[in-house]
Chain A
Amino acid sequence: MTITAAVDFDAVLQRLGDDTELLLDIIGIFLEVTPPTVERLGCAVHDTDFATAVELAHELKGASANLGAVELRRQANLLEMSARQRLTGQVAEHLVLLQQEFARVVADLECYRSNLMSRR
């Protein structure tokens, strides 16, 4: 089994014109904005509030795309689709996978940011 990186930094940097300062800013924004989103998503799923789950999963999908977090984006999309169809069991399963992937993305981003800043 191959374990791939949670974030495709090369692709993001290419989109940002190899601007590492801009990437650091975006990483900071992502780490500030998305943890509460994931937390609220967990509450919405727990409460079977499908409308809020759709909205929050959609938000996370967009945020993940900006940072090249491909698998997180995929999980958010799956959760959004399941919530749209009100499939309680699938929504709960996707939430677990999404939370695991989110933790991987956050770890990758923090590690990358730390490495970049230590080189300054």
Chain B
Amino acid sequence: MRTAGNTDAGVGSDLKLLLVDDNQVNCRLVELLVQRRGWQCTAVNDGQAGLGAWRSGAFDLILMDVRMPIMDGLEATRRIRVEEVSRGGHVPIVALTANVESEDLAACLAAGMDAVLCKPIHQEEFYRVCLAATGKNG
């Protein structure tokens, strides 16, 4: 698990993100974008580690890759949603996916994800989707 962040105050500086993605370049790009806003980011490389990080931390948002080793993003999301029934709360989960076919998007939403962010990442869209998913837009 790797945590990155910027203590400088910025727009939405209280945002704590959990990034679950096995692609190193993608992870580092997201961490750069997050740091530029003064947000905090904890990164793990598979769904199982993501589930563990979610259980032990408090996050405003989870960015979840779909295809990963050990446990994919769909399964990790389903498990989080099941646990939330007894635990309470609802963490927004945004899918990170290069697959933009309608059935892939439908699978993300059916698993319990709240929104989808297409890869490769577009800076403006990244911030917009993160803020919208956490209800902190503007």
Residue in A16, A17, A30, A55 with the greatest tally of chain B CB atoms within 10 Å: A16
Tell me whether A33 and B24 are in contact (CB under 8 A): yes
User: How many A-B residue contacts, CB cutoff 8 Å?
Assistant: 52
CB contacts (< 8 Å) of A40 on chain B: these are none
Say if the beta carbon of B69 comes within 8 Å of chain A. yes
Chain B: how many interface residues by the 8 Å CB criterion?
19
Interface, chain A (partner B; CB < 8 A): 15-17, 19, 22, 25-26, 29-30, 33-34, 55, 58-59, 61-63, 65-68
Tell me whether B26 and A66 are in contact (CB under 8 A): yes
Given contacts A25-B32, A55-B69, A62-B98, whether A19 and B25 have CB atoms under 8 Å apart is no
Tell me whether B25 and A63 are in contact (CB under 8 A): yes
> With A and B bound together, what is the CA distance between A67 and B26 in angstroms?
10
Tell me whether A26 and B32 are in contact (CB under 8 A): yes
